[in-house]
């Protein structure tokens, strides 16, 4: 293909881990379908780990805590990004930082498009008085819409693609989440892990941070089939371990999206949030969701932060450890 046909696309998304991870499969399919476009992702330094396995996607590290801290440093960032001579800018974040940079590019004549988060319909989904309870557009499709606004064709397959040979009867468990409303109670999750280990499954535990690492280490005492990887491997090694799993059990958390990234089926457990908001892992099945469908107050939030009146609400009160264990086993039988 002649050089003159090549175009350059800048993608902006600074956080959070799960959201940035969801971009990867969208961009992977975009590159396959638009081979004349060179794709650059600008995000926080740590996010570069996600794109290492996609050599066709270039990564621009943006440290918003140091080099580009504060509002006026955004002009410095824009000036540096401008040197790449981008033809298109896709703002997949739609926050003040990304809006400022996108606007500066637009004023300079660059074609830009910004993510529509669907705020109104998401508010309606969590409205306790006048709830509109329906499946909203998947976040990955919202990302693809931004690229479509720029004039590109993008057709997402919504299928996970295994990145490794799977270890037979291997299950990953990532029991933590950013908010307690999204976290199946740890004492119940311990019982589920024990039962699966006793049933001959090899259990690998995932987590980060000192408290989580220490907690998961104690789980190894329950059964020789349980091994914690928390704090013992690098992020890159963790991704490779996830790729080898037959299935990951996670909350509505980044681990669900990391599993999708690595082509691993995920059984996800949901509490205060709901898959209807559009954040189910890319290529994952709604049939692999465990949730209390009888609890009519769900969802109370989109991201997991409990609203007033639900601060200490137990969204998992009707989901016993036995019930969750049996649901997992049944789902594993129906692969």
Q: Are domains 3-149 and 170-333 of this chain identical in fold?
A: yes
Neighbours of 138 (CB within 10 A): 18
Domain boundaries, the chain: 3-149, 170-333
Query: For position 5, what pLDDT does the model report?
Result: 81
Over residues 242-273, the pLDDT tens digits come to 999 999 999 999 999 999 999 999 999 999 99
Domain 170-333 carries which CATH code?
3.40.50.2000
Give the CA dihedral 66, 254, 228, 197, nearest 10 degrees.
180
Contact 255, 269 (CB under 8 A): no
Q: What is the Cα–Cα distance from 101 to 203, expressed in whole angstroms?
A: 44
Q: What is the overall mean pLDDT for the chain?
A: 97
3-state helix, strand, coil in the chain (%, to 5): 40, 15, 45
| pLDDT interval class at 3 (50, 70, 90) | low
Domain 3-149 carries which CATH code?
3.40.50.2000
Pairing of strands 111-114, 88-91: parallel
Query: For position 61, what pLDDT does the model report?
Result: 98
Closest CA to 219 of 244, 194, 246: 194
Over range 283-293, report the average pLDDT.
98
Q: Taking the model in full, what pTM does it have? A: 0.96
């Amino acid at each position: 293909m002649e050089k003159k046909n090549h175009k350059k696309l800048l993608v902006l998304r600074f956080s959070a881990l799960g959201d940035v991870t969801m971009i990867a499969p969208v961009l992977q399919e975009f590159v396959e379908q638009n081979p004349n476009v060179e794709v650059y992702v600008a995000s926080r330094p740590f996010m570069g780990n996600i794109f290492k396995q996609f050599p066709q996607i270039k990564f621009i590290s943006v440290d918003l805590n140091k080099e580009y801290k504060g509002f006026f440093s955004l002009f410095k960032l824009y000036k540096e990004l401008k040197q790449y001579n981008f033809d298109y800018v896709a703002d997949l974040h739609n926050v003040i930082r990304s809006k400022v940079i996108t606007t500066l590019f637009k004023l300079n004549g660059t074609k830009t498009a910004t993510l529509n988060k669907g705020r109104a319909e998401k508010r309606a989904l969590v409205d306790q008085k006048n709830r509109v309870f329906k499946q909203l557009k998947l976040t990955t499709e919202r990302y693809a819409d931004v690229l479509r606004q720029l004039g590109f064709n993008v057709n997402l397959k919504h299928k996970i693609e295994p990145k490794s040979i799977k270890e037979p009867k291997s299950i990953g468990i990532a029991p933590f989440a950013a908010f307690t409303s999204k976290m199946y109670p740890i004492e119940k999750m311990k019982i589920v892990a024990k039962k699966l280990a006793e049933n001959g499954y090899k259990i690998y535990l995932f987590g980060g941070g000192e408290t989580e690492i220490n907690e998961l280490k104690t789980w190894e005492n329950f059964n020789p089939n349980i091994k914690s990887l928390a704090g013992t491997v690098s992020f890159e090694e963790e991704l490779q371990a996830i790729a080898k799993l037959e299935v990951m059990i996670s909350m509505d958390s980044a681990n669900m999206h990391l599993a999708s990234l690595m082509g691993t089926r995920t059984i996800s457990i949901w509490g205060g949030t709901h898959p209807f908001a559009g954040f189910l892992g890319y290529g994952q099945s709604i049939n692999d969701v465990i949730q209390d469908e009888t609890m009519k107050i769900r969802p109370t939030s989109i991201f997991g932060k409990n609203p007033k009146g639900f601060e200490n609400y137990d969204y998992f009160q009707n989901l016993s450890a036995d019930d969750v264990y049996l649901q997992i086993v049944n789902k594993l039988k129906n692969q």
